[in-house]
A and B are shown apart, each in its own frame.
Chain A
Amino acid sequence: MAKSPSLFGATFRRDLLLAFRHKGEMINPLVFFLIAISLIPLGIGPEKALLMRIAPGILWVMALLATLLSLDNLFRSDFDDGTLEQLLISPHPLYLSVLAKVLAYWLATGLPLTLLSPVLGGMLSLPSGAFIALCSSLLIGSAAMSLIGAVGAALTVGLRKGGLLISLIVMPLYVPILIFGASAVTEAARGNPFDVQLAVLGAILAIALLLAPLATAGALRVSVNG
């Protein structure tokens, strides 16, 4: 009889392996991030002062959108081939299985976004003092966004065309993360401390870690049985 931690490990390893096998799905949000950021100067003009001013907000908004894009993939393939049903009827706590899947998902999407962000920050003339804030805020924020986004993905996994609906459902919930994330980078760009913002992001992540998998588990049960 397998113990709970090893199911967590098994689910995590499997999801991570699957993610890396579908490198295309992993690359998509990164490419979106890159192209969307590149559109900004094309739309606004290359004037460095202006770009520098809006860079923190723009980087965060685009990272948010890129995260939203890939959310549908979180549960869809497992839903389609019946693996999700197996997870649901398994005696192991669904909370942990969900957590494992979200962790793997975050490593495959949120983390790469965070690692790519300095490059894009440079493209938008982000001041050098802001790069650490950018990476740390995105690291914490993308994890929180993955957790909260999982609820939306779970609610819509039973629908054929759930994509746009996920965005509508999840975006209002992302507002606090966006506010504090962008503020952290903005303050850092001005040379001010940004520990308050990071602390709040951390608190949001903690709450999300506790509650989001519960809601996600409930939503999965509703979607699969519906």
Chain B
Amino acid sequence: MANNKQERLFMNWQWFHRLGSPRWFYEKTDAWVPWLVILAWGLLLVGTVWGLGFAPMDAKQKDSYRIIYVHVPVAFISMACYYIMAIAGAVGLIWKMKLPYMVMKSAAPIGFAFTIIVLATGSIWGRPTWGTWWEWDGRMTSYLVLSFLYLGIIALQNAFQSRDTADKASAILALVGTVNIPIIYKSVDWWYTLHQPASLNLTSAPKIHISMLYPLFTMIAASYIFFTLVLILYTRAEILRRESKTQWVKDLASGVPSKGDKA
């Protein structure tokens, strides 16, 4: 009995320290990737078809509301991505591990791409709804600022000669951004109500029917799984780049068979 408990504690500790090993991560995720691809893209397609073709039409916005099925889920993950990025940076700073920094670096362009999706779909959605291509509403403006935060991280990452300095500096910036995001969001929200008190918020659908929610939940789940997939893919590529001098990467490159390589 005591042995089991000790074993379990030992395993937990091991697991945490293994997180410091990029090679472990790379080899572990080999098996995960194909499943994640199937799950993510499967759910995306199911949710898309459901939302586009089978969810009932909205009374006010007619069929243009269907943009919600891509706009809202990606909005959620673009925010989640920033927090993952910041947490990875914090872990890297505190425990001085390599892998978290690689995850942090991978998350930045992904999150930025997500904010582009949110801004583009939000803008396109605004056109038939409000008649203008850009509307400075609270949500959209917050996401615009979020995209700037991502750009700052990406720019800082690429500005330094030393990989180590770039990582630490970006981690600090990401953490500073994290503290600011709620403040920014609240301020922009307040600013918007100040200037347009009676207007409806674009991204809160007025009366949403339960049958409209199912495809939305599907898409939200799909987007989180997709984010996990893509973050892993980018991190794997980053691992190889950074660890190119190690034997295991050299073996991988020259085709020496080890544990198999799917994506």
Tell whether any CB of A sits under 8 Å from a CB of B in the complex: yes
Flag whether A175 is at the interface (Cβ < 8 A).
yes
Check B184–A219 contact: CB distance below 8 A: no
**A209 to B176 CA separation, bound complex (whole angstroms):** 14
**A180 to B189 CA separation, bound complex (whole angstroms):** 12
Check A218–B184 contact: CB distance below 8 A: no
- Min C-beta distance of B184 to chain A, whole Å: 5
Check B149–A158 contact: CB distance below 8 A: no
CB < 8 Å neighbour of B152 from A169, A207, A215:
A169
* CB proximity to B under 8 Å, residues A199-226: 204, 207, 211, 215, 218-219, 222-223, 225-226
**A165 to B173 CA separation, bound complex (whole angstroms):** 12
Q: A172-B145, A204-B183 are in contact. Are A226 and B175 (CB under 8 A)?
A: no
- Residues of chain A within 8 A of B186, CB atoms compared: 176
**A12 to B33 CA separation, bound complex (whole angstroms):** 56
- Residues of chain A within 8 A of B160, CB atoms compared: 158-159, 226
Check A172–B169 contact: CB distance below 8 A: no
Q: A172-B180, A215-B176, A222-B168 are in contact. Are A179 and B188 (CB under 8 A)?
A: yes
* CB proximity to A under 8 Å, residues B169-211: 169, 172-173, 175-177, 179-180, 183-184, 186-188, 190-191, 194
Look across to chain A and name the residue whose beta carbon is closest to the beta carbon of B189. Answer: A179
Check B165–A226 contact: CB distance below 8 A: yes
- Min C-beta distance of B52 to chain A, whole Å: 34
Q: A168-B148, A179-B188 are in contact. Are A226 and B162 (CB under 8 A)?
A: yes
**A179 to B149 CA separation, bound complex (whole angstroms):** 17
* CB proximity to A under 8 Å, residues B133-167: 145-146, 148-149, 151-152, 155-156, 159-160, 162, 164-165
- Min C-beta distance of A124 to chain B, whole Å: 20
* CB proximity to B under 8 Å, residues A138-195: 151, 155-156, 158-159, 162, 165, 168-169, 171-173, 175-176, 179-180, 183
Check B165–A211 contact: CB distance below 8 A: no
- Min C-beta distance of B46 to chain A, whole Å: 36
Check B187–A165 contact: CB distance below 8 A: no
**A183 to B189 CA separation, bound complex (whole angstroms):** 13
CB < 8 Å neighbour of B156 from A155, A171, A176, A180:
A155
Check B190–A172 contact: CB distance below 8 A: no
**A219 to B166 CA separation, bound complex (whole angstroms):** 11
Q: A204-B183, A211-B179 are in contact. Are A219 and B145 (CB under 8 A)?
A: no
Look across to chain A and name the residue whose beta carbon is closest to the beta carbon of B151. Answer: A168
How would you classify the secondary structure of chain A's contact residues: helix, strand, loop or mixed?
Answer: helix
Q: Please count how many residues in chain A sit with their CB below 8 Å of the partner chain's CB atoms.
A: 27
Look across to chain B and name the residue whose beta carbon is closest to the beta carbon of A221. Answer: B168
- Residues of chain A within 8 A of B162, CB atoms compared: 226
Check B180–A159 contact: CB distance below 8 A: no
**A179 to B187 CA separation, bound complex (whole angstroms):** 7
Look across to chain B and name the residue whose beta carbon is closest to the beta carbon of A215. Answer: B176
Check B187–A180 contact: CB distance below 8 A: yes
Check A173–B165 contact: CB distance below 8 A: no
Q: A173-B176, A175-B188, A215-B176 are in contact. Are A226 and B155 (CB under 8 A)?
A: no
**A226 to B169 CA separation, bound complex (whole angstroms):** 10
- Min C-beta distance of B167 to chain A, whole Å: 9
Q: Which residues of B contact A (CB under 8 A)?
A: 145-146, 148-149, 151-152, 155-156, 159-160, 162, 164-165, 168-169, 172-173, 175-177, 179-180, 183-184, 186-188, 190-191, 194
In the complex, besides A172-B177, A172-B184, A226-B169, 18 extra interface pairs with C-beta distance below 8 angstroms are A151-B176, A158-B165, A168-B151, A169-B155, A169-B173, A172-B149, A172-B152, A173-B176, A175-B187, A175-B188, A179-B187, A179-B188, A179-B190, A183-B194, A222-B168, A222-B172, A225-B165, A226-B165
